[in-house]
């Protein structure tokens, strides 16, 4: 059995559409919790589309994150097929992203890494999509933050469990 400490950090990425609203919000929120618990994990985010590549997070995402004490520095990027090897967990923000990511996956091992964010929330019910707040107001961004917050404990449990697994 290999030494769990030698496995390196557990790697998580969040994926939404353009990587300027939902996924960077989830990234910065989870990052704070990982740091607070001193877990050996890293988190980032990307989008299924590349039209915002290089752009900062949406100003409403930044405002919402800062209002709640989270960091917000971000540069959008597009998820690439070859990245599956770089992650232990690829978290899609809605069913459309889930389908796109699983279609992009090279094999079952890659597909098994892809999960919906709200699947980590035991109170989520049947609708596991995090709605896109892009065309809405600040209240929609607050709602997205609330949905992410509810899933964080389950994601942290998954990370803790993964850190115990020597792969």
The pLDDT score that the predictor gives to residue 5 is 46
Report the CATH number that the domain containing residue 45 is assigned in CATH: 3.40.50.2300
- Number of structural domains the chain divides into: 1
* Rg of the Cα atoms in the chain: 15
Domain contains 22: yes
Backbone angles phi, psi at 47, to 5 degrees: -125, 165
Q: Is the residue at 3 inside a domain? A: no
Report the alpha-carbon distance of residue 102 to residue 64 in Å, rounded.
30
The strand pair at 114-116 and 41-47 is best described as unpaired
Give domain status of residue 126, yes or no.
Answer: yes
The model carries a pTM of 0.94
pLDDT number for residue 165: 76
Question: Is residue 154 a part of any domain in this protein?
Answer: yes
Closest CA to 17 of 135, 149, 158: 135
Q: Which domain holds residue 23?
A: 8-164
The two three-digit tokens of residue 153, written as one number: 């404990």
pLDDT of the residue at 7: 66
Q: Per-10-residue mean pLDDT for the chain, 167 residues long?
A: 60 98 98 97 97 95 97 97 97 98 97 98 96 96 98 98 81
Report if residue 1 sits inside a domain: no
Burial class (CB in 10 A: 0-12, 13-18, 19+), 58: buried
**Alpha carbon of 56 to those of 10, 19, 21, 32, 106: distances in Å?**
25, 9, 10, 19, 30
Report if residue 2 sits inside a domain: no
Give the catalytic positions in this structure: 16, 22, 132
Sign of CA dihedral 44, 50, 53, 56: negative
Domain membership of residue 53 (yes or no) is yes
Chain length of the chain: 167
């Amino acid at each position: 059995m290999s030494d769990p400490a030698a496995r390196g950090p557990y790697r998580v990425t969040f994926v939404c559409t353009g990587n300027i609203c939902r996924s960077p919000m989830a990234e910065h929120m989870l990052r704070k919790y990982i740091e607070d618990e001193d877990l050996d994990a890293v988190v980032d985010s990307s989008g299924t589309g590349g039209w915002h590549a290089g752009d900062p997070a949406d100003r409403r995402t930044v405002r919402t994150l800062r209002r709640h004490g989270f960091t917000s520095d971000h540069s959008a990027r597009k998820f690439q097929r070859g990245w599956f090897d770089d992650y232990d967990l690829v978290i899609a923000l809605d069913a459309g992203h889930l389908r796109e990511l699983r279609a992009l996956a090279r094999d079952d091992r890659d597909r098994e890494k892809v999960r919906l964010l709200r699947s980590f929330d035991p109170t989520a019910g049947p609708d596991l999509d995090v709605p896109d707040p892009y065309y809405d107001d600040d209240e929609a961004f607050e709602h997205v933050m609330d949905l992410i917050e509810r899933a964080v404990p389950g994601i942290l449990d998954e990370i803790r469990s993964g850190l115990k697994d020597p792969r």
